[in-house]
Amino acid sequence: MTLNPADAAFRSRLSADLPDEVFRPVEARYLEEPRGRYAGAQALLAQPRTTGEVATLIRHAGEAGVGVIPYGGGTGLVGGQIASEGTAPLILSLERMNKVRDVFPDENVLIAEAGVILADVQAAADAADRLFPLSLAAEGTARIGGNLATNAGGTGVLRYGNARDLCLGLEAVLPDGQIWNGLTRLRKNNTGYDLRHLLIGAEGTLGVITAAALKLFPKPARSGTALLVVDSPRAALDLLSLARAQLGEMVSAFELMHRQGFEFLTETGLDVRLPFDTAPEWCVLIDVGLSGDLNPEAALEALFVAANEAGIVPDGIVAQNETQAAAFWKVREMLPEANRRIGSVSSHDVSVPLSAIPEFIRKGGDAIAGIGEFRINCFGHVGDGNLHYNVFPTPGKSRADHENQRPAIKAAIHDLIHEMGGSISAEHGIGRLKVEDLEHYGDPAKLSAMRAIKAALDPKGIMNPGAVLRA
Amino acid sequence: MTLNPADAAFRSRLSADLPDEVFRPVEARYLEEPRGRYAGAQALLAQPRTTGEVATLIRHAGEAGVGVIPYGGGTGLVGGQIASEGTAPLILSLERMNKVRDVFPDENVLIAEAGVILADVQAAADAADRLFPLSLAAEGTARIGGNLATNAGGTGVLRYGNARDLCLGLEAVLPDGQIWNGLTRLRKNNTGYDLRHLLIGAEGTLGVITAAALKLFPKPARSGTALLVVDSPRAALDLLSLARAQLGEMVSAFELMHRQGFEFLTETGLDVRLPFDTAPEWCVLIDVGLSGDLNPEAALEALFVAANEAGIVPDGIVAQNETQAAAFWKVREMLPEANRRIGSVSSHDVSVPLSAIPEFIRKGGDAIAGIGEFRINCFGHVGDGNLHYNVFPTPGKSRADHENQRPAIKAAIHDLIHEMGGSISAEHGIGRLKVEDLEHYGDPAKLSAMRAIKAALDPKGIMNPGAVLRA
């Protein structure tokens, strides 16, 4: 599909229906993304204030055949927010649609516009004595519309699910400019195809989410955190089973970390450290949120004792207060920054069936060793089978020294993941970075259904062209 | 779209690729449904044994332009399983694809073919010391493929979600005969549009589900049940808030019942009764499933005391053992049978936002009283905002005496539901019964997107023609 540029002629057509203040100069931040792999060029920037204005913009873009890039917080890691090729698009930023429209504490529902920053959604829930459990590193910048469009994951998935599981209803503008009023607060509603789940995870290629009805949860009465040393990834899984047997769904987070990450923290001068004399090879950061009168420290101590007796956990510390818990989490949260400073040769956001994790880590290490000498920092949301498997140069070398090996590394990891029934994009999505990977590894029947749906809902191909599916 | 009959010529084309034992005579049960509103006529019945055979059947039906009716347990209440009009279809029963393919207790995953009876899924999970929480009246007959195709609800939704929330992956045959191998056990997988959620709830109109990867849960260590009297629906909601504040997500079921239902049990000679001397106007059946060392009787006693002190619950009984708990549940479970015996004039499976329930019940009663003299049995999954709002004749009258008032009753309730932001089909789906209602009350943008998706994936309109969308 050939698209037309968002040029002066297009701008003047928009002027007939929209006031000047909807348009802003395109600052550099709209043309960059966190990993610096994609850079946009010319574009027209619109910052609509209402759903009606979004609909007007989309309708004009459709009539003129101009591409539309929906823009949330810009924190995506796969280039879904940057059109780096082709004709100048309309960047449609939702940042001025940033109101929490309503909170219904008795219903455990919050209605937010797409441009509300994730941390502000969390704060609004907290103010109503409720929990909005979506939590991820970029929460101070990411906006809820983007979180939903990409079906964001994060550290709360084990207990509360992905972004899609936290959404009851959507308001969205479809590619033909129609507004879908699907902003229901209902827990049960079986009236036709689930457009909500189709738009969630479609990364803006089937329409623009303008608002969402989000699920809130009772706040756990008390929370607790522990850092438990495990001998191996297998032991981490055994610990997870034990934790669930003892604590059911009250296990809120279960994060695996490797010594390589702790060494990176030191190497890059980040002032966070583990509360162990010697950094363990593997450890697990576990959070529990308990109801009623349960005591989290006692529950975690009981888990620690049982795991120790079972030979799974040789060492560990249960946080005795919130400050200590925050210090443990700080280590986990700084790992991505340490990784950034070291500079990965290749990063992989992958998942495998839970029980296949030890085999994946072993075979992955062997495959990388066969390609060259590298350091591997493998960490992540092990309770969800989701690992961030990142490959780094050895000390003294840099990312640039290994440019020619990157394709082999990526292929080795993705082939292994595919063989093991895993996903080449567990939580970051496809964006523009993994379009070819999806074509290569994706199920052919699914891909042809996706293309048919895209063509049916967006026949001119204006919505986020080139993301998810080849334009 | 004009379809061709599944006639002798079609049957002989199928014979080229499929053995005779795939085909069986069409017994009466395939042409009937529980409420007796729809009756099928001529049809060809196939009972494929493998996904490959399903694909072959669908491919031939597509080539010949023959309609396909996917058939599970036949327990649907909206006629989705019966083609009562038009040319003879191919009935595609999944009943011989009834294997639990695999159970992964450590991953909390079970892989079942579409034809496994829901109770057998529950039993297989139980045998692995896990819980599959989908639970509904028809579980001894309904098959998991149909439960997923209709996004079944039931009594476990409050804690564990609808059928769609319990599914990690699907295997399905799409309308073009392609097999989609989406049977993933992954908790996180952001690789393109979510076909799974599109097929779930599509009632067989976009393809046939042949197998599913289902989520299991740790069994609650101990469960408890209480029957608490409330003065009003508003008090029931206050009790729900209190229960959640005290017990978080451990509240597993929260069912509202009305005196009318208890009177129907007596009137129809069903030998179940409430453990109260005088039947209360409203009461709530509450189930909790607790982790760790928590004592369910103590937790429910504490809830009862707190609710009594708050003036919400004047009376109640906490079950002291499983026999007593089962007796409480028996009352709830027999309500549909009592309703059937009385014979409703009009039944409504509706939902509203939780806080709107008292207003809906009040206004609904007023609206019905304005039409004539009726008895209303309003009961259901109040924790989900889902009520079964059924209107009955007064003693001495029958359903037949009110035939001419049914449209007015239905319109009054559905108009009210629509006004209040509710759903005209909370858990039973659209089937053939509510196609016009969906056209009338559905969001126009959503409907046009649904039609575009149907046309894109099933251009000949062979899949369950006339269900959900007009053929």
pLDDT in tens, A357-383: 999 999 999 999 999 999 999 999 998
How does pLDDT run across A164-206, given as a tens digit for each residue? 999 999 999 999 999 999 999 999 999 999 999 999 999 999 9
Closest CB to B438 among A187, A188, A192:
A192
Q: What is the pLDDT of residue A1?
A: 67
Interchain contact, B430 vs A351, CB within 8 Å: no
Per-residue confidence at B155, pLDDT binned at 50, 70, 90?
A: confident
* Chain B hits for A430, Cβ within 8 Å: 190-192
How does pLDDT run across A435-449, given as a tens digit for each residue? 999 999 999 999 999
Closest CB to B429 among A153, A186, A190:
A190
* Chain A hits for B448, Cβ within 8 Å: 176, 178
A456 touching B, CB under 8 A? yes
- Say whether B100 sits in a helix, a strand or coil: strand
Q: What is the pLDDT of residue B273?
A: 81
The interface residues of chain B toward chain A in range 138-177, judged by CB-CB distance below 8 A, are 150-151, 153, 157-158, 161-162, 164-165, 174, 176
Average pLDDT over residues B111-123: 98
B7: Cβ contacts below 8 Å, ≥ 6 apart: B44, B88
Q: What is the pLDDT of residue A340?
A: 92
Nearest Cα neighbor of B191 from A201, A162, A387, A75 is A201
List the B251-258 sheet strands across, edge first.
B316-318, B222-230, B282-290, B251-258, B375-381, B386-392, B346-351
* CA of B124 vs chain A CAs: smallest distance (Å): 18
* CA of A272 vs chain B CAs: smallest distance (Å): 29
Secondary structure (H, E, C), chain B: CCCECCCHHHHHHHHCCCCHHHEECCCHHHHCCCCCCCCCCCCEEECCCCHHHHHHHHHHHHHHCECEEEECCCCCCCCCCCCCCCCCCEEEECCCCCCEEEEEHHHCEEEEECCCEHHHHHHHHHHCCEECCCCCCCCCCCEHHHHHHCCCCCCCHHHHCCHHHHEEEEEEECCCCCEEEECCCCCCCCCCCCHHHHHCCCCCCCCEEEEEEEECEECCCEEEEEEEEECCHHHHHHHHHHHHHHHHHHEEEEEEEEHHHHHHHHHCCCCCCCCCCCCCCEEEEEEEEECCCCCHHHHHHHHHHHHHHCCCCCCEEECCCHHHHHHHHHHHHHHHHHHHHHCCCEEEEEECCHHHHHHHHHHHHHHHHHHCCCEEEEEEEHHHCEEEEEEECCCCCCHHHHHHHHHHHHHHHHHHHHHCCCECCCCCCCCCCCHHHHHHHCCHHHHHHHHHHHHHHCCCCCECCCCCCCC
Nearest Cα neighbor of A423 from A340, A313, A334, A349 is A349
The matching CATH number, chosen from 3.40.1210.10, 3.40.228.10, 3.30.465.10, 3.40.50.1370, for B100-218 is 3.30.465.10
Interchain contact, B355 vs A106, CB within 8 Å: yes
The interface residues of chain A toward chain B in range 30-89, judged by CB-CB distance below 8 A, are none
* CA of A289 vs chain B CAs: smallest distance (Å): 10
Torsion from C-alpha of A15, A20, A23, A24, nearest 10 degrees: 140
- The mean of the pLDDT values for chain B is 95
Average pLDDT over residues B290-308: 91
Residues in a beta bridge with B68: B90, B463
Q: What is the pLDDT of residue B137?
A: 87
Neighbours of B360 (CB within 10 A): 24
Q: What is the pLDDT of residue A392?
A: 98
* CA of A268 vs chain B CAs: smallest distance (Å): 30
Q: Is the dihedral of CA A203, A205, A206, A207 positive or negative?
A: positive
Look at residue B439 and tell me whether its pLDDT is greater than 90.
yes
B182 touching A, CB under 8 A? yes
Interchain contact, B190 vs A151, CB within 8 Å: yes
Closest CB to B193 among A179, A201, A247:
A201
Per-residue confidence at B294, pLDDT binned at 50, 70, 90?
A: confident
Helix, strand, coil content of chain B in percent (nearest 5): 40, 20, 40
Query: What are the backbone angles phi and psi of residue B52, rounded to the nearest 5°?
Result: -60, -45
* CA of B271 vs chain A CAs: smallest distance (Å): 32
ipTM of the complex: 0.96
Q: What is the pLDDT of residue A273?
A: 81
Q: Rounded CA gap, B105 and B143, in Å?
A: 22
B301 touching A, CB under 8 A? no
Interchain contact, B190 vs A165, CB within 8 Å: no
Interchain contact, A443 vs B180, CB within 8 Å: yes
* CA of A129 vs chain B CAs: smallest distance (Å): 10
The interface residues of chain A toward chain B in range 200-219, judged by CB-CB distance below 8 A, are 200-202, 206, 217-218
Q: Rounded CA gap, A280 and A121, in Å?
A: 36
Show the tokens assigned to A351: 């998942």
B359 touching A, CB under 8 A? no
Per-residue confidence at A37, pLDDT binned at 50, 70, 90?
A: confident
Q: Is the dihedral of CA A309, A310, A315, A317 positive or negative?
A: negative
| Radius of gyration for the alpha carbons in chain A, expressed in angstroms and rounded | 23
B459 touching A, CB under 8 A? no
Per-residue confidence at B293, pLDDT binned at 50, 70, 90?
A: confident
Interchain contact, A438 vs B241, CB within 8 Å: no
Per-residue confidence at A155, pLDDT binned at 50, 70, 90?
A: confident
Query: What are the backbone angles phi and psi of residue B297, rounded to the nearest 5°?
Result: -65, -45
* CA of B451 vs chain A CAs: smallest distance (Å): 9
Do residues A353 and A423 touch, judged by C-beta distance below 8 A? no
Look at residue B86 and tell me whether its pLDDT is greater than 80.
no
B136 touching A, CB under 8 A? no
Q: What is the pLDDT of residue B1?
A: 66
Fold of A8-95: 3.30.43
In a 10 Å sphere around its CB, with 0-12 CB exposed, 13-18 middle and 19+ buried, how is residue A7 labelled? Answer: middle
| CATH class (in words) of the domain with range B222-340 | alpha beta
Average pLDDT over residues B419-434: 96
B425 touching A, CB under 8 A? yes
Q: Where are the domains of chain A?
A: 8-95, 100-218, 222-340, 343-419
How does pLDDT run across B241-270, given as a tens digit for each residue? 999 888 888 899 999 999 999 999 999 999
Calculate what percentage of chain B has a pLDDT beyond 90.
89
* Chain A hits for B351, Cβ within 8 Å: 186-189
Fold of A343-419: Alpha-Beta Plaits (3.30.70)
- Residue of A187, A196, A438 to mutate when probing chain B, most B C-beta within 10 A: A187
Q: Do domains A8-95 and A100-218 have the same CATH topology?
A: no
Interchain contact, A450 vs B291, CB within 8 Å: no
Residues in a beta bridge with A24: A45
* CA of A372 vs chain B CAs: smallest distance (Å): 29
Do residues A38 and A76 touch, judged by C-beta distance below 8 A? no
Min mean pLDDT across A66-75, A404-413, B213-222 is at B213-222
Q: What is the pLDDT of residue B275?
A: 85
By C-alpha distance, the chain B residue nearest A153 is B188
Average pLDDT over residues A47-58: 98
Interchain contact, A185 vs B351, CB within 8 Å: no
Q: Rounded CA gap, A57 and B89, in Å?
A: 45
Look at residue B181 and tell me whether its pLDDT is greater than 90.
yes
How does pLDDT run across B266-282, given as a tens digit for each residue? 999 998 888 888 999 99
Nearest Cα neighbor of B210 from B93, B351, B86 is B93
Look at residue A293 and tell me whether its pLDDT is greater than 80.
no
By C-alpha distance, the chain B residue nearest A444 is B180
Average pLDDT over residues B226-234: 96
Look at residue A62 and tell me whether its pLDDT is greater than 80.
yes
Q: At what angle do helices B233-247 and B296-309 cross, to 10 degrees?
A: 130
Interchain contact, B194 vs A164, CB within 8 Å: yes
A103 touching B, CB under 8 A? no
Show the tokens assigned to B145: 């493929």
Measure the N-to-C terminal CA separation of chain A; round to a whole number of Å.
Answer: 7
A185: Cβ contacts below 8 Å, ≥ 6 apart: A104, A107, A109, A111, A168, A169, A213, B353, B354, B421
Neighbours of B465 (CB within 10 A): 24
Average pLDDT over residues A249-254: 90
Counting one residue from chain A and one from chain B, the pairs whose CB atoms sit within 8 A come to: 278
A250 touching B, CB under 8 A? yes
Do residues B283 and B312 touch, judged by C-beta distance below 8 A? no
